């Protein structure tokens, strides 16, 4: 009998990964490809959707080759994706009308401020669980329809984008929907990704007509919403296509919900933090959508076929791993692995604080005009202090969210499950434990985002029968417990708040828009 596996497409902010998992949740194949980051103006961030699709095909082929497998040995494909990043494309040709607007993109900040001035923030929050922010998809698709160059469609008719959208000729979606469309020909998203668009009512579980009208997004454009793990399947790959096989596409989750799922946070009160380009702290709140009074998002965690939606509270931190990349960009480090050695070489930051608000601040501050700030430098400040301050900023931002999470949920944090590339750094994990003053658990398989979407797809096709099987797969690699003096940590954390205050509302309108 031929062994079978489940594949996961992990389409992230900086690149695309394909991972193949066996029944025990272990990685048997892995391939990765970076894509270009496009910055047309300050605060604007774009990706080329066609490059992402080409890279997706490449990493699937490379991942299968890495594992020495044939495509027919995949029982299912799951997808996980950078959330909120938005694409509009032609239904017939499949060609995008514009580059994807990335979740980090701030070009619609003015539009968000209009919503704030019109007292629509609470109205949006009640329906979607989200803050009114340029982070989400609604203002992005609105901007594309208003500003994309119609000639790129190569349409024989001269109609503008809005009328073509109303006639059902254009489709919109987040990256999962784009990949599902290219893999299967179907226009589908899952509930977790739909909940990040600022167009979806997370309790009615449907696209909201009033929000679609507010952002002038025709309902004909939006994808069908399905469970995250779907026994009815999203579709199959084409036997005559690049894989040469009909493989079920059966699961999709936004990347942070996928990590929640991969960390087996299936029960109310379970929490995880993923350290990637940004960091995203999620707590499962069960079948109740818990509203936040402390700047967190209420979002859909996941849904299994035939079961109720599970909700989550989320703290979205825009820049964590990207702050380490910035250290590399400005030649303070040669590679990310150096940060632990440099940070450990000094006992403290000597009073230096770094606030990495390069694209504004997310939870719990929600200031799109905040900008990156370094305070407290003297002539004695060296790069070691700046590197340590950058790592500490990751831990402080996480504590900001952890305290908001406890206040909203009423659940005291006893341990936090962590994942993502940065948690390979033992120094950062210990620092995080010290600053939050709680235990940190790092799993053996730290690529839990890819694992979560593989689990969702595998459950849908019966590769795994129950979530208990998945719980049995989860194993701790290492635990970190607080070692620092709590009183000293609290004083450092108070000073962090002073540094954050200095970063707020820094970008002025003319600067944010760039030179037109």
What does the block give as tokens for 88? 């509009």
Query: If you ran DSSP here, which 8-state letter would residue 151 be given?
Result: G
Q: What is the DSSP string of 203-243?
A: TTTEE-HHHHHHTT--GGGSPEEE-SB-TT-SEE--TTSTT
Q: How many CB atoms lie within 10 A of CB 427?
A: 15
Region of residue 152 (left: phi > 0; alpha: psi -120 to 50; beta: else): alpha
Report the DSSP beta bridge partners of residue 81: 11, 254
**C-alpha separations of 326 from 322, 357, 511 in Å:** 6, 12, 20
Is 26 assigned to a binding site? no
List CB contacts of 7: < 8 A, sequence separation 6 or more. 18, 19, 20, 21, 29, 60, 63, 74, 76, 77, 78, 247, 454, 457
* Six-digit token string for 143: 């901007």
Length in residues, the chain: 516
Contact 399, 493 (CB under 8 A): yes
User: Contact, 313 vs 298, CB < 8 A?
Assistant: yes
83 annotated ligand binder: yes
* Cβ atoms of residues 8 and 77 within 8 Å: yes
Strands 100-101 and 46-47: antiparallel
Confirm or deny that 277 is annotated as ligand binding. yes
Return d(Cα 260, Cα 280) in angstroms, integer.
10
| Whether 245 contacts 72, CB under 8 Å | yes
Helix 486-503 and helix 426-436: axis angle, to 10°? Answer: 100
Sign of the alpha-carbon torsion through 482, 484, 490, 492 = negative
Distance in angstroms (rounded) separating the CA atoms of residues 508 and 429: 36
Is 113 within any annotated ligand binding site? no
Is 321 annotated as ligand-binding?
Answer: yes
Nearest CA to 418 out of 305, 281, 257, 325 is that of: 281
Q: Is 13 annotated as a binding residue?
A: yes
**Does 14 count as an annotated binding residue?**
yes
Could you give the CA distance from residue 287 to residue 343 in angstroms, rounded to a whole number? 42
Determine if residue 94 is labeled as part of a ligand binding site.
no
Quote the CA–CA distance of 440 and 76 in Å, as a whole number. Answer: 32
User: Does 255 appear as a known binding residue?
Assistant: yes
Contact 442, 477 (CB under 8 A): yes
Enumerate the known binding-site residues: 13-14, 17, 83-84, 135, 255-256, 277, 321, 421, 425
Enumerate the known binding-site residues for glycerol: 83-84, 135, 255-256
Enumerate the known binding-site residues for ADP: 13, 17, 277, 321, 421, 425
Enumerate the known binding-site residues for ATP: 13-14, 277, 321, 421
Enumerate the known binding-site residues for sn-glycerol 3-phosphate: 13, 83-84, 135, 255
């Amino acid at each position: 009998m031929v062994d079978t596996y489940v594949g996961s497409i992990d389409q992230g902010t900086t690149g695309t990964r394909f991972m193949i998992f066996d029944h025990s949740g272990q990685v048997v194949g892995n391939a990765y490809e970076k894509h270009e980051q496009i910055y047309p103006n300050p605060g604007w961030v774009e990706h080329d959707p066609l490059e992402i699709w080409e890279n997706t095909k490449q990493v699937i082929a490379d991942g299968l080759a890495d594992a020495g497998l044939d495509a027919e040995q995949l029982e299912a494909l799951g997808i996980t994706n950078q959330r909120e990043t938005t694409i509009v494309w032609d239904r017939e040709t499949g060609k995008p009308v514009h580059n994807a607007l990335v979740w980090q993109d701030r070009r619609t900040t003015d539009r968000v401020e209009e919503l704030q001035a019109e007292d629509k923030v609470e109205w949006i929050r009640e329906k979607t669980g989200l803050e009114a922010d340029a982070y989400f998809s609604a203002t992005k698709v609105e901007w594309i329809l208003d500003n994309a160059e119609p000639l790129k469609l190569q349409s024989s008719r001269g109609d503008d984008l809005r009328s073509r959208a109303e006639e059902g000729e254009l489709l919109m979606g987040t990256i999962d929907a784009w990949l599902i469309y290219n893999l299967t020909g179907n226009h589908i998203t899952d509930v977790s990704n739909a909940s990040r668009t600022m167009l979806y009512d997370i309790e009615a579980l449907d696209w909201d007509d009033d929000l679609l009208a507010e952002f002038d997004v025709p309902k004909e454009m939006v994808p069908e919403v399905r469970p995250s793990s779907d026994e009815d399947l999203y579709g199959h790959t084409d036997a005559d296509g690049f894989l040469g096989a009909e493989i079920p596409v059966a699961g999709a989750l936004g990347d942070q919900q996928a990590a929640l799922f991969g960390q087996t946070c299936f029960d109310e009160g379970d929490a995880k933090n993923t350290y990637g380009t940004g960091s995203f702290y999620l707590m499962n709140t069960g079948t109740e959508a818990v509203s936040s009074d402390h700047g967190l998002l209420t979002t859909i965690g996941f849904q299994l076929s035939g079961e109720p939606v599970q909700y989550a509270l989320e703290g979205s931190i825009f820049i964590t791993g990207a702050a380490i990349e910035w250290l590399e960009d400005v030649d303070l480090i040669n590679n990310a692995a150096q940060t632990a050695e440099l940070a450990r070489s000094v006992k403290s930051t000597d009073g230096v604080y770094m606030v990495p608000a390069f694209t504004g601040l997310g939870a719990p501050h929600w200031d799109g005009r905040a900008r990156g700030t370094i305070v407290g430098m003297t002539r004695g400040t060296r790069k070691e202090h700046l590197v340590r301050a950058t790592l500490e900023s990751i831990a402080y931002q996480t504590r900001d969210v952890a305290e908001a999470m406890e206040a909203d949920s009423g659940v005291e944090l006893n341990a936090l499950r962590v994942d993502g590339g940065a948690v390979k750094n033992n120094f950062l994990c210990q620092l995080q434990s010290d600053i939050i003053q709680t235990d940190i658990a790092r799993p053996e398989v730290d690529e839990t985002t890819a694992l979560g979407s593989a689990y969702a797809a595998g459950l849908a096709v019966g590769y795994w029968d129950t979530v208990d099987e998945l719980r049995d797969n989860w194993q701790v690699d290492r635990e970190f417990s607080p070692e620092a003096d709590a009183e000293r940590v609290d004083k450092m954390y108070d000073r962090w708040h002073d540094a954050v205050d200095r970063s707020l509302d820094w970008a002025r309108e003319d600067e944010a828009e760039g030179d037109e």
